[in-house]
Structure 1
């Protein structure tokens, strides 16, 4: 394959990756069905973090890194976004307005409607980074079609079983005058309120991801988008808005770059090369130093099939030029 140097070139080769992150004294992904306790596999007691949670953090990082510059708006907004941006059909209407379909067309044939939907879909891909990367169902009322994105992420699962903890917390203030008066009459002072906080003392999580060039061609996902994707993933906890996250950090991202769009090896055979082993310490792990990454990087690269290149992030990010 010819060398690709233009960052605006559509991604034309496959990428598979393994990502490692850890949490200390925080809740990486609360379960609303379990009182917001950290998510847990009941059979293995391993913790897990959903793909939706990871994508939300990547979206937040992309928004912070690009400041919503043209082509990098975020379709699925957070709760602190302005009212209009959280209503998806308003975003869809922007697409139809942009392609000149604001007024009802006289031609209401199936072909005309399909063509307008296709144009609106293309506009959404051009303007919204997360639509271009992750895809979206945009056929809700104001129809912009559906998009399957090239960037797919799995759940992340902890290496070891976790022990979720609930910690009692106090707040020495009250919300209303009525509550203040009630506490003062009973205790002689404002005693405050009690609450609980769910945490994981420490856990190392491992997840996997894929970049599909066949879908990249459909959404217009470029090598510049891909580099931004990994930049956002490296820094996703720096821009995390969760108040209960504790200390979280992306420790490693192993990116396997294929020389072809169909790939030069099955993804699972590449993932099997990345081994994370506990050091066998007598006490429970409480830091990343309690684990050993199986093969040294040089040894790992020697085992790779022909046509597969390994990039270790964040250490090699400055020199990481995907597609070159």
Structure 2
């Protein structure tokens, strides 16, 4: 199991694309109104990590992905309810042990459950286990925020294909809209708790797969609407023990990001550095990429 606490910083960028559309704003890139800085949700990043793991380790035991597009979550939970014997007694201890056995079944089978956690609502049903189905994962990732304010451009597009036969009688193409940001460098922070890792079974091998997935998460998840996206740097802070040796705000000072121009339009318009002079005691800094 994990013998160290970890914190990490991810820097990634987007060029001429929409990294995470806002359904409440015509799918425009998410943006903080007051600062005009771009935002990407944690769910969007975890989706790309899941997609990479699913492709990279397809079919391997214990490397399944629970949260899938278009696949009801009940299917796998019903399998767990079928495989795990119900307790003969209905006492508190038996009920708690049953809940833990169901959660272990899910963690053993699905990489994303023992990594990010899950809510197994099927376990809470009265006709099922009627037990606590919440699993808190050891890996948590924050919302990403762009280093500088982003601009949003509305791009009109046309398609030579029409939607149906009726439209074909009156038009020979259809119109549409895309929203993009010309450039944005985004920063996300993350944390790995060894205490929660012990509960879900997340181990050192899973941790290495996480780092690998973060570095490659955009390479296998290209889409025309997202433009060019790439991870530029992953900085990992390895604490000397399980309790941690520094606060998050002190660790973030280690990674410095400085603009070289008033309007950055590429990664080279920033200077990104790791300041070794401010690394707290008991912290090992690992820079990937």
- TM-superposed deviation, 1:116: 2.0
TM-score by length of 2: 0.93
Which residue, 266, 275, 284 being the options, matches 1:309? 284
Q: CA RMSD in A?
A: 1.7
Gaps in structure 2 of 5+ consecutive residues: none
Task: Give yes or no for the alignment of 1:134 onto 2:116.
Answer: yes
Report the 3-state secondary structure (helix = DSSP H, G, I; strand = E; otherwise coil) of the residue aligned with 1:244: helix
Aligned length in residues: 283
Kindly provide the CA deviation profile for residues 219-266 of structure 1, in whole angstroms up to 9, marking residues without a partner as x. Answer: 111010001001001111012254411000000011010110001111
Report the 3-state secondary structure (helix = DSSP H, G, I; strand = E; otherwise coil) of the residue aligned with 1:96: helix
Task: Give yes or no for the alignment of 1:179 onto 2:167.
Answer: yes
In structure 2, the partner of 1:62 is 53
Give distance in 1, aligned partners of 2:236 and 2:257: 16
- TM-superposed deviation, 1:114: 3.0
Give distance in 1, aligned partners of 2:247 and 2:95: 40
Give distance in 1, aligned partners of 2:247 and 2:93: 40
In structure 1, the partner of 2:266 is 287
Gaps in structure 1 of 5+ consecutive residues: 1-9, 80-85, 184-190, 315-324
Give distance in 1, aligned partners of 2:164 and 2:231: 41
Give distance in 2, aligned partners of 1:237 and 1:11: 27
Give distance in 1, aligned partners of 2:208 and 2:234: 13
Question: Which is further off, 171-180 or 238-247?
Answer: 238-247
- TM-superposed deviation, 1:100: 3.7
Greater gyration radius: 1
Report the 3-state secondary structure (helix = DSSP H, G, I; strand = E; otherwise coil) of the residue aligned with 1:240: coil
Which residue, 200, 213, 220 being the options, matches 2:181? 200
8 Å CA contact retained: 2:253, 2:278: no
- TM-superposed deviation, 1:68: 3.8
Give distance in 2, aligned partners of 1:262 and 1:54: 26
- TM-superposed deviation, 1:309: 0.6
In structure 2, the partner of 1:257 is 238
Give distance in 2, aligned partners of 1:54 and 1:14: 21
